[in-house]
Amino acid sequence: MQGLLVLAFLTVFFVATNALVSNCTCKGNLSMGTYFVSWMIRDNNRSLVDFNVSVNTGADTWVAVGFSEDRFMPITDVAIGADNGTYSFVEDRWNNATRPAGPIYDTEQNFIDTSTSRYNDMLTISFTRPIDSPDDTQDLDLTQCRYVLWAYGGNVGMFPSMMSDEAASSLTRHTMRGVFSEQLCLCPANETCPDATPATPATSPTPATSPTAGTEAPTSSAFSVANFAIITFIFILIAAIF
């Protein structure tokens, strides 16, 4: 009986672990309504990752993407940006536990190659960040799987100068927000990059006031395999008992 239990445990452990590791990506995308975020690991050393975030929103409004250990906004690593056709910014920000005034300006800006563009009402912000950030106080490493939060629609009361490191001020609350059900899991250097399957954008966004705001991404096949391993364990356990 003990031998069967040990065998069942090892089966669940190895199958579930391999399933989760194989679910990593080197490039991919997620979407909700007109909101679209894509990523691509830049170098062979897997040290940098490029992000592009776009959404259909007004000229004086911002768009943001956040990376979190859970599905909630506190303790979230945030990238936020805007472009009104004259002024623009992309900033590294941090949602702390209390969030009295929204995401605060990160004192250690770790983004490189930032840019913005606007075509009619379509706003796009781009940035590159370290996967393993040197900022251990106001960044979250992407060496672990993270939930991806999205938000946009808040107004920018004042744009910072293009030559200034000051944070944009007077950012009003988002009008649309949510969290993707699928996590961002970047492949480590010792893993082969699988081909990314482009996501099909949905037709309409989810309001911030909706209790179910977010996406309903397809369930990962990795988790299906892990669930199968758990069911197998249960059957072996029952057989051992009876």
pLDDT in tens for each of the 242 residues of the chain? 555 443 443 343 333 434 444 589 999 999 999 999 999 998 778 899 999 999 999 989 999 999 999 998 888 899 999 998 888 999 999 888 776 567 888 888 899 999 999 998 999 999 999 999 888 888 899 999 999 999 999 988 777 654 444 544 568 889 999 999 999 999 988 888 885 444 444 434 445 443 334 433 333 334 444 444 455 555 555 555 65
How many whole angstroms separate alpha carbon 66 and alpha carbon 140? 10
Residue type, 158: M
What CATH number is given for 24-219 in this structure? 2.60.40.1210
Q: Provide CATH 2.60.40.1210 ranges for the chain.
A: 24-219
b/e per residue, 178-213, with b = 16+ CB within 10 A?
bbbbbbbbbbeeeeeeeeeeebeeeeebbebeeeeb
pTM of the model as a whole: 0.71
Q: Torsion angle, CA of 165/139/151/47, rounded to 10 degrees?
A: 90
How many whole angstroms separate alpha carbon 2 and alpha carbon 163? 68
